Structure 1
Amino acid sequence: MKERLYVLDWIRVFAIFYIIFVWHIDDYSNNIFSNMVTSTLAYICLYVFVFVSSYLLACNYTISKPKEIIAFIKKRAVRVYPLYLLALIMFLMTSQISLKEFLIGAFLLNMILNTSLLTLWFISMIFIFYLLLSVILYNYSLIRTVYISFAFSLLCYILHKTFGLISPKLVYYYPAFFVGIFCAKRLHIDFKWGKSKIIALLSYSTFCMYLFHRIIYWGLLKIYIPDTNAMIVVYLACAGIPALYFVSTGLQAGYDKIVSFSFRVDQKI
């Protein structure tokens, strides 16, 4: 399936806007939005990201040969890792993470070692799910997926309880990952309605928005710090939305051109 699933664009855009323009802005405004409802909604939005990612990949990929597993992992790494590493470097340069956190994050080990990583922990988690997905999609079957899921969850639990390794987040968000695969392979859900050019443009930039929004906030607060928490929220939202959109779109488009050019060169060679 290569058709664009417009409903998922709407869902993804809503989720990313909530996370970066409500939940994370709250970190800069003395947690004025923090309560059980907003916290629960943040977890739901992150669940949505995991679901959408696994759903789309499970829809668009079938793996029938071992070499296709390597190709799948390579393609996901090219898609995700360079931009993630750039964000990680910028987090370090703006003193939002320590050198130790940077090094652990650069090797995508924070989920394995159960260490903290501001915001970007989610990318490390998603990449582990990509590795798992490559195995699940290999000659896919539901029963085999259930066995793999059980073994993965049990291994995470044992390593966490015995050695303090493995972030519990891997297990917390795994159900969304599993359901995304299940829906893609077993259910025929019509996600193709709701076409919107604006939403499609925003959806295109969501990955970079997530990676770089704290960098934009850092820069804006270096320029000006409002007097009240409420005004900080207004300032970061009003200035941050256009700034983040243009920066994210530019970064994503530029990176896509680099990848496309590199692919053409490889094909010629």
Structure 2
Amino acid sequence: MNSNKLVEIDILKSVGIFFVIYVHLPVFFSDIQTVPYAQSAIPLGLSCFFFTSSYTLSKYNNFSDDNKIETFLIKRAKRIYPLYWTAIISYIIIFGFLKIKADTNNLSTIGITDYIAIMMGAHELSLDFPPVPYLWYIGAILFFYVLYVLIIKYANSEFDILRNSLLIFLSMHLISFPSSIYMYYPVFIAGIFAGRARALSKFNPYTSKIPTEVTNVFSYIAYSSYAVYLFHGPILSIMETINSYFGLSGYIGLLYLLCVDVPIMFLGCYCIQQVADGKLDIKNLNSWKFGYVEYLSKSLSISEIWKK
């Protein structure tokens, strides 16, 4: 992985994606009706994503001409849209046609106008479009990237950035956006200032003491987090269906979900992200595969012991 990346960013992304999975556990494990502190975990997890997304934008601090703006937005779009569109298709197939679980996003029944809005990521900008529970973050972050350009383009100092951010926030109240836009915009702005001040680097004296093996795990989880966010719905729904078929329920089913299904999902999403980035390393994948086979065998052994 990139040795220049801040481990603090990887930790925050890892925490964020685990909060997302934690909150959605009742969706993929029918024996759980609710999870404790879900209402707190949702904003905490997504705040980690919004904060880290804007924190890493600090190197893009010059939008003096249209070419730089175009380059920035195209780079963001190439990073976001291909996997996002693939995820939408997977939702339609898994929930709409195969009906593995209830289609909570209603992606198989909405009209063409709604489809266009969702495919462009504009569904989160208007109350007129149907909500997309698992994917709404994409529409919000795309919107914030555009706002970031406006904020930085007309700013020559930290004060200008603060002024522009406040003016945009006030202007947003002239239009009816979903509440999540207003809620996470300040988090996104906080990430901008933190990134420019390199605030997370101040934790380096502490994070540098974390063993390399642990930071590598955070690095892989963080790298996979975007794909996990997009595909955890279809993947875990399929796995939960398979688990139910084999009678894995109760504590054993939950143990299997957490110790086997979730790691498989992360491995699969890591590969998906590698393919999307055009850098799937077969040798690296083999090391993952053999390491995971050993881990899987241990997990299955624990499951058998638990049954006894």
Give the TM-score normalised by the residue count of structure 1: 0.83
Whole-Å Cα distance in 1 between the matches of residues 248 and 79 of structure 2? Answer: 40
Instruction: Check conservation: 1:216, 1:243, Cα contact below 8 A.
Output: no
Q: Which amino acid aligns with 2:4?
A: E
Whole-Å Cα distance in 1 between the matches of residues 166 and 63 of structure 2? Answer: 22
Give the CA deviation at 1:38: 2.8
Whole-Å Cα distance in 1 between the matches of residues 24 and 42 of structure 2? Answer: 9
Per-residue CA distance 1:170-200 (angstroms, 9 max, x = gap) = 1100111010011122454415434522221
In structure 1, the partner of 2:20 is: 19
Root mean square deviation of aligned Cα: 2.4
Whole-Å Cα distance in 1 between the matches of residues 122 and 135 of structure 2? Answer: 12
Specify every segment of 5 or more residues in structure 1 that has no aligned partner in the other structure, as ranges.
161-165, 260-269
Higher relative contact order (CA closer than 8 Å, sequence separation 6+):
1
Per-residue CA distance 1:91-126 (angstroms, 9 max, x = gap) = 111223324254431021211222310210011111
**Cα 1:159–1:231 shift into 2, 3 Å:** farther
SS of alignment partner, residue 243 of structure 1? helix
Instruction: Check conservation: 2:69, 2:149, Cα contact below 8 A.
Output: yes
Paired residue for 2:275, among 254, 262, 267? 254
Give the TM-score normalised by the residue count of structure 2: 0.73
Paired residue for 1:157, among 173, 192, 208? 173
Paired residue for 2:125, among 90, 112, 116? 112
Whole-Å Cα distance in 1 between the matches of residues 199 and 240 of structure 2? Answer: 46
Paired residue for 1:137, among 152, 159, 172? 152
Instruction: Check conservation: 1:19, 1:42, Cα contact below 8 A.
Output: yes
How does 1:220-259 map onto structure 2 within 5 Å? 220-225=239-244, 226=247, 228=249, 230=251, 232-257=253-278
Work out whether 1:39 is the aligned partner of 2:29.
no
In structure 2, the partner of 1:263 is: none
**Cα 1:119–1:44 shift into 2, 3 Å:** same
How does 1:186-197 map onto structure 2 within 5 Å? 186=197, 188-190=199-201, 191-192=203-204, 193=208, 194=210, 196-197=215-216
Whole-Å Cα distance in 2 between the matches of residues 75 and 150 of structure 1? Answer: 26
Specify every segment of 5 or more residues in structure 2 that has no aligned partner in the other structure, as ranges.
97-102, 281-308
In structure 2, the partner of 1:266 is: none
Whole-Å Cα distance in 2 between the matches of residues 188 and 124 of structure 1? Answer: 27
Give the CA deviation at 1:210: 0.8
Give the CA deviation at 1:228: 4.7
**Identity rate, percent:** 24
